[in-house]
Amino acid sequence: MGAAVAVLIAKERHIVDAFERRGATTVERGCTPDEVGVETGRGAWRRLRERSVVRETSPGSGQFYVDLDVWNSLRRMRRRIGLAFLFLVVVMGVVVGILPLLR
């Protein structure tokens, strides 16, 4: 499952990078997914839209831009969750390692 998550995050990064390269980082500079070369039928696109990283310039326009503030916030949140999980694993390892010594 970890590999699948890594692939999904890499695809999300690819989409964001494509919009950045095109300069579509504001409402005024929005463009279509075809113009930046990304597929919209994939899970990564759907997740970015659900999290408002990729936003439509106006309803029904078919033009999108990437909100870099939201993207960076999402990355920070993921990093914090990853560090918290790592901390939990370390603590559990220490507890499991100490328990036999207490008997």
pLDDT tens digit sequence for 57-102: 999 999 999 999 999 999 999 999 999 999 999 999 998 888 787 7
Contact in structure between 31 and 24 (CB atoms under 8 Å): yes
pLDDT tens digit sequence for 21-53: 999 999 999 999 999 999 888 899 999 999 999
Contact in structure between 38 and 45 (CB atoms under 8 Å): yes
Q: Is 0.85 topped by the overall pTM?
A: no
Q: Give the pair of three-digit tokens for residue 52.
A: 């408002």
The predicted structure's pLDDT at residue 1: 66
Give Cβ neighbours of residue 42 (< 8 Å, ≥ 6 apart): 11
End-to-end Cα distance, the chain: 36
Candidates 72, 11, 73; CA nearest to 40 is: 11
